Structure 1
Amino acid sequence: MEKYVPNIFFAFILIAGIGYFVTNVRKLIRNIKLGKDIDRTDRKPERWKNMAKIALGQYKMVTRPLSGVLHIVVYVGFILINIEVLEIVIDGLFGTHRVFQPALGNGIYGFLIGTFEILSVLVLVAVIIFWFRRNIERIKRFWSAEMKGWPKRDGNIILYFEVVLMSLFLIMNATDVPFQEAGAGNIISQFIAPWFNDFSLESLHTIEKTAWWLHIVGILIFLNYLYYSKHLHILLAFPNTFFANLKPKGEFTNLESVTNEVKMMMDPSADPYAMPEDGADEEVPEKFGASDVTDLNWVQLMNAYTCTECGRCTSSCPANLTGKKLSPRKIMMDTRDRLEEVGKNIDANDGVFKSDGKQLLDDYITREELWACTSCNACVQECPVNIDPLSIIMDMRRYLVMEESAAPQELNMMMTNIENNGAPWQYSQMDRLNWKDE
């Protein structure tokens, strides 16, 4: 029985790690579903193509070649190297050692592990360059006001995670004596193995098993860290690109509630003052626009969770570049933070949200930020995972205009002129054609 203790302990850690991950995923889905329903199931072939090209193929990443290529190296390397996790899980549960090696033979197995070792070195190099660009070169988009505190630490923590996991993988292979003696797949680790020449076989075995345990535990920790990190996009980039808005940029949606109001006004038989029939529930008028996260649709909320905080949107925003307060990245981060706050409120109150006197508008996103937007769609165009900050900005503007009549003075004057004169300018309709006489 004693010899099975490590296997039982491994199973416990595996179940606990996956169980906690599933719990967080369920909470994530619950929070996203707090948004309003929207149908994004049209044009499925185009949606599948977008997901394959943008999420899987990293098409939009390479518009900035250096960071794009480095990201692809980390993305491909990290995903492929973790295929070995399947072997680790089997070995951990059944007490075997490199169970795939005899099954695949030294040729195929050596090719796979050798590829993983090369990729692990490339990932290490890419991560070090990322760390240098973020902390030494101090690229401006990583040092904006919204990137202080946790966002800044989170960006570095994930880099440290990747360095540790890749290093453990190489050390594990370098100290595995039978693996090194077989000479199949130790393309990189053969050069690390001499570092441990002075160690006894027992010490090498201890180092190898320690690296093995730390590697798998580290992967489980990383898996559960995703929920609390901007790297949640590793999972959400795929559905986010699939359900992205396929309409032409610049085409804004019409509010159904407004459309219904206009139709009723144009219907001569409609009675706007009609009371509901006896026994019928009086409908609560739908809010125009959005003042809190529950007024947004579920795709917008998924956008917030998918944000990579890369800052490409903000670095391309003309309002931000001219010194305005607006940062599209901050819009997404604020939306996610408020959504998390609402989710925690629900958890603390037995599944029911209790008003906390706060909302997304004013408490997180200021009116100055919203009105600074030029609605040019640069942020939407630049996002590597098809996030749409502009849609949130426009929905919150709609709320300000249609619910609070809180548009800037210049906009109110323009709308008054359109209402009175049929044009944005303040002159009589009778004078509209005077230009032709000049």
Structure 2
Amino acid sequence: MKILIVEDEFIVANDLRLMLEKAGYTVVGIASGVVQARKLIESKQPDWILIDIILKGALTGIDLARELLTQHIPFLFISANTNQEILEAAKTTNPYGFLVKPFREKDLLVMLDIAFFRHEMETKQQQQAVLQDTGMVGRSAAFANVLDHISKVAHSNTSVLITGESGTGKERVAAAIHRASARSHQPMVTVNCAALPLSLVESELFGYERGAFTGANQQRIGKFEQANGGTVFLDEIGELPLEAQVKLLRVLQQREVERLGGQAIIPIDVRIITATNRNLEKEVAEGRFRLDLYYRLNVFPIEVPPLRERKDDIEPLAYYFLEKFGKTVNRISPAVLRQMKEYPWPGNIRELEHLIERQVLLAEGQEITSIDLRAQPDITPVASSEAIKTMEEMEKEHIIRALKASQGKVSGAGGAAAALGIAAQTLFAKMKKFGIKQTYQ
């Protein structure tokens, strides 16, 4: 536990330091005023701060406490001043404790224990609320590991790379990180890299000035500027072309953008979260993804496990979606739950969500008593004389079959996107990539 002491009386501050270090805490510094405290907070990143109210300089400990509230850094007051007006002002900052000088070592340690416990309980409640708001549900050990990673990285500005199969809930993980962060009051802007043509990368991400190119009739603010102070979530980052990767890397390194057709350099303060269902290390090895960009993005990786490795989460997730779509349907029979736990879920949580929505429409009473699970594909050895198709060829054929089955409908209920277990926007991007026309009526 790293603690910063903000106290302008050196003897008092040093006594505090000795007490804390004796009890096993790490004191990262002593500040005599708010300005010095700000510098130490930025450089040392303390877990907790002990603040005297009356400090050297124009700013008080209460002024610092208000800043700490916005930064989500917990603190306690230690002060000799018991003036009622000052105490009331201090209360408005919601400190985790208030210790009046002089005090005994025992009083300090007991107050710290109580403060740590309160903070831990509040943090757990806040995280639970954040996760419920973003639709993240589960009780498995694999899911708990994801939550642990979210809680550890949320309050930093570290770049996060979320990996996992399609439909595992990577965007929800990104949303949970943003909402649990100090940037939660600022926007989170999502960019689907798979749906971003190379010709539009710069204009979409960085914006343009009026007259920058034919058709640029007015100024446009890019995604990075829109997210200033908040978070940029680059979904399907593995789909970004190499040329666009170079431009993105430059922005991440310099923390500034320049609109197309403009001359002004615009500083940006954004947190980067990316997600992919590709193996980026393999993409790097095969020359399709830049190694330097990979290192920039993969500072804190979070792997979201597939649903087949989260069997304990199938039932709570199914009931979560049942509550979302159910209306009069409110139960799932034990036989159906057993079926679902034995199914491999190639489309993961997204497939489960679509399935529950479909079964609610088909149910005749208050309980889902049967379920239509797709049969697992038959995987048999390929004869040596038989030509093996590339993954892209197989993916293209699979998309065409889905479009034919849905009579050309891409999005919405009964559409090809739902059948394939992917977002409609992603399917449109893949259709464009493979040159597939929407004519399967």
TM-score tier by shorter-chain length is: under 0.3
Q: TM-score, normalised by structure 1?
A: 0.25
Q: TM-score, normalised by structure 2?
A: 0.25
| Higher share in helix | 1
| Higher share in strand | 2
